[in-house]
Structure 1
């Protein structure tokens, strides 16, 4: 009997290994699905605004704490088809040396985003290369990649855990860019279970090192439907520089159309 059991032991261990592998794979699939569902709920909570406008101040802060400020406006046009990314236009008004500078973005899903930067001093529109999206946007800690639409299906997701975050509980999820030429290997986000809005996002560079941390706060509910953070801070953990985006107000369904988000608009602003 002992010999029989010993002879059967390797096959039993193999079955246990297979069983454990199946369980592990099932847990991985569950974590991916849960992460996606949380991200989808957060993304869908923002749908239906049609178009929006907001004014804001951008405060750039160097490692020594010295600050400089810029004033700008953001227009956004929501594409009804979720398989097509939204369109946005950023227009600078202050200081004088950036007045009229504008960035037009057509977000895509897995294809490279289309972005054009208008430089009024040169009266020139420059297309941003898909391989250069990790570069800083007008000297800030936000990259061109950060500025364009963060479409749901641009990423693969994985739920990590739930943990307290301020007065709420957050789901912590990883997301991995599926599009080419991203400056990040992954991002880790904290999403509030109370309103499905992001509280913090960590960005990891191509070496897998923590590069930047974005914090979103002072949320306000507009039209009893749309949550918007009135303060977004991006901190570079490697250089210790930071940029604040301070939003003064949002307006929705403002009558913008796709014709307001074409390349020719940049020279007419």
Structure 2
């Protein structure tokens, strides 16, 4: 299970309120590991529903095996869509070689997502094919499919165990993509039991080998309801590369509309 980056997802957030003190009976009453895993996923989604639209900034730090770093500055706009997955638009401001690059994602509840990339040097919009969703996004350790919003229906689930991570009680859930052309055979997600925030995701490649781990931290609360992790670290165990994402300047209900996420407007995204 993932968060849209990036990608903003999300990413990686959940709703808090009086409901935080209530344990979902579907979780406690689940009989099989599959039923409990699904109930946890549904609660995660429910806790991060209703935020409408948002804008944020992120600094993406690409680090190679030798420790050399490259920084990128990105603005991310996101929109909830009733009855379907979220839409997101990422606009690169720095460095100069990627300035003006824009990436648009239409996440869907079922099937493959739609994604487009505008490359200013070529002055054209490129559609990302469903067979390329496992490829690296803008040179980072995030794949294109990591940029989509989390949709419960696109996975099968299995509850593994309860555990602790950094002193917090966690549910540990295994997820299996049901959509075509995923680069992952499964993911293992660590979700805190109090707020249902994602703290860690372990990714396994199509051969079943450990591929990447993403850790999320520095959570902050917005609108008295929504948590956002302000630091994400994606470590690629097979290449030794990593990507650090630092989020800032979150704003909600800024008035974004469907027309702000039209693929024809990618060329003039600012």
TM-score between the two structures when normalised by the length of structure 1: 0.87
Q: Shift of residue 34 of structure 1?
A: 0.6
Are the aligned partners of 1:218 and 1:230 in contact in 2 as well (CA < 8 Å)? yes
Alpha-carbon deviation of 1:205? 0.3
Between the aligned partners of 1:63 and 1:119, the Cα distance in structure 2 is 27
Asked if structure 1 preserves the Cα contact closer than 8 Å seen for 2:45 and 2:150, the reply is no
Q: Is the 8 A contact 1:110 1:180 kept in 2?
A: no
Higher relative contact order (CA 8 A, sep 6+): 2
Q: Go from structure 1 to structure 2 and tell me whether the alpha carbon gap of 1:29 and 1:265 turns closer, same or farther (over 3 Å shift).
A: farther
1:31 and 1:158 in contact (8 A); partners too: yes
How many residue pairs get matched?
241
**Aligned mates of 1:108, 1:29 — CA distance in 2:** 29
Deviation string 1:13-48 (CA, Å, 9 cap, x unpaired) is xxxxxxxxxxxxxxx961111111111111111111
Contact 2:205–2:211 under 8 Å retained in 1: yes
Q: Which residue of 2 aligns with 1:192?
A: 192
Question: Per the alignment, in what secondary structure is the counterpart of residue 32 of structure 2?
Answer: helix
- Verify the 8 A CA contact 2:111 2:154 in the aligned structure 1: no
How far apart are residue 109 of structure 1 and its match? 2.5
**How far apart are the structure 1 equivalents of 2:265 and 2:48?**
26
1:163 to 2:163 alignment: yes
TM-score, normalised via structure 2 length: 0.87
State the partner residue of 1:41.
43
Distance 2:186 2:46 in 1: 22
- Report the Cα offset of residue 148 of structure 1: 1.6
Structure 2 SS opposite 1:134:
coil
User: After the TM superposition, which parts of structure 1 deviate over 4 Å for at least 4 consecutive aligned residues?
Assistant: none
Shift of 1:268: 1.5
* CA distance in structure 1 between the partners assigned to 2:124 and 2:107 by the alignment: 22
Q: Which residue of 2 aligns with 1:53?
A: 55
Q: Distance in 2 between matches of 1:91 and 1:254?
A: 17
**1:75 maps to 2:91:** no
The alpha-carbon deviation at position 120 of structure 1 amounts to: 0.5
> What are the residue-to-residue correspondences of 1:72-221 with 2, within 5 Å?
72-81=74-83, 84-221=84-221
Give the secondary structure class of the aligned counterpart of 1:227: strand
What secondary structure, in the 3-state scheme, does the structure 2 residue paired with 1:32 have?
Answer: helix
Stretches of structure 2 that go unaligned for 5 or more consecutive residues are 1-29
2:65 match: 63
**1:211 positional shift:** 0.4
**SS in structure 1 opposite 2:121?**
coil
Secondary structure at 1:260 match in 2: helix
Q: Greater CA radius of gyration, 1 or 2?
A: 1
RMSD over aligned Cα atoms: 1.3
1:247-258 → structure 2 map (5 Å cutoff): 247-258=247-258
Stretches of structure 1 lacking an aligned partner (at least 5 in a row): 1-27
